[in-house]
A = this chain, B = another copy of it.
Amino acid sequence: MLKLNPHLSVDCVIFGFDGQNLKALLTKRNIPDPENANKFITDYKLPGDFITDEEDLQTAANRILKELTGLTNIFLKQLWVFGSPRRINKERDINWLRETTGLPIERVVTIAYYSLIKIAESQQENANINNALWIKVEEISELAFDHFEILQRGLKTLRTRLQIEPVGFELLPRQFTLRQLQNLYEVILGRELDNRNFRKKILKAEYLVATDDKEKEVAHKPARLFMFDKDIYEKSEMRDLGFQF
A241 proximity list for chain B (CB < 8 A): 160, 163-164, 241-242
Over the window 64-95 of chain A, the binary record of Cβ atoms lying under 8 Å from chain B Cβ atoms (1 yes, 0 no) is: 00000000000000101101110000000000
Contact B7 A5 (CB under 8 A): yes
Contact B109 A57 (CB under 8 A): yes
* Residue from B55, B85, B163 in contact with A53 in the complex, judged by beta carbons closer than 8 Å: B85
Contact B85 A54 (CB under 8 A): yes
A189 proximity list for chain B (CB < 8 A): 245
* Residue from B57, B83, B109, B244 in contact with A163 in the complex, judged by beta carbons closer than 8 Å: B244
Contact B78 A56 (CB under 8 A): no
Over the window 100-115 of chain A, the binary record of Cβ atoms lying under 8 Å from chain B Cβ atoms (1 yes, 0 no) is: 0000000101010000
Contact A202 B81 (CB under 8 A): no
A185 contacts the other chain (CB 8 A): yes
Binds B, one of A22-30, A40-48, A130-138, A193-201: A193-201
A193 proximity list for chain B (CB < 8 A): 245
* Residue from B51, B53, B81, B242 in contact with A238 in the complex, judged by beta carbons closer than 8 Å: B242
Residue of B nearest to A241 (CB): B163
Residue of B nearest to A8 (CB): B109
A51 proximity list for chain B (CB < 8 A): 83
Q: Tell me the residues in window 187-245 of chain A with beta carbons closer than 8 Å to chain B beta carbons.
A: 189, 193, 197-198, 201-202, 205, 238-245
Residue of B nearest to A202 (CB): B243
Residue of B nearest to A191 (CB): B245
Say how far A190's CB is from chain B's closest CB, in angstroms: 12
A109 proximity list for chain B (CB < 8 A): 8, 57, 109, 111
A interface residue numbers (CB < 8 A to B):
5, 7-8, 51, 53-57, 78, 80-81, 83-85, 107, 109, 111, 160, 162-164, 185, 189, 193, 197-198, 201-202, 205, 238-245
Q: A57-B109, A198-B245, A238-B242 are in contact. List 15 more A-B contacts (CB 8 A).
A: A8-B83, A8-B109, A53-B85, A53-B107, A55-B85, A78-B81, A160-B241, A162-B243, A163-B241, A163-B242, A163-B243, A163-B244, A197-B245, A201-B243, A240-B242
The 9 closest A-B pairs by CB, nearest first: A57-B83, A163-B241, A7-B7, A163-B243, A193-B245, A164-B241, A81-B111, A56-B84, A81-B81
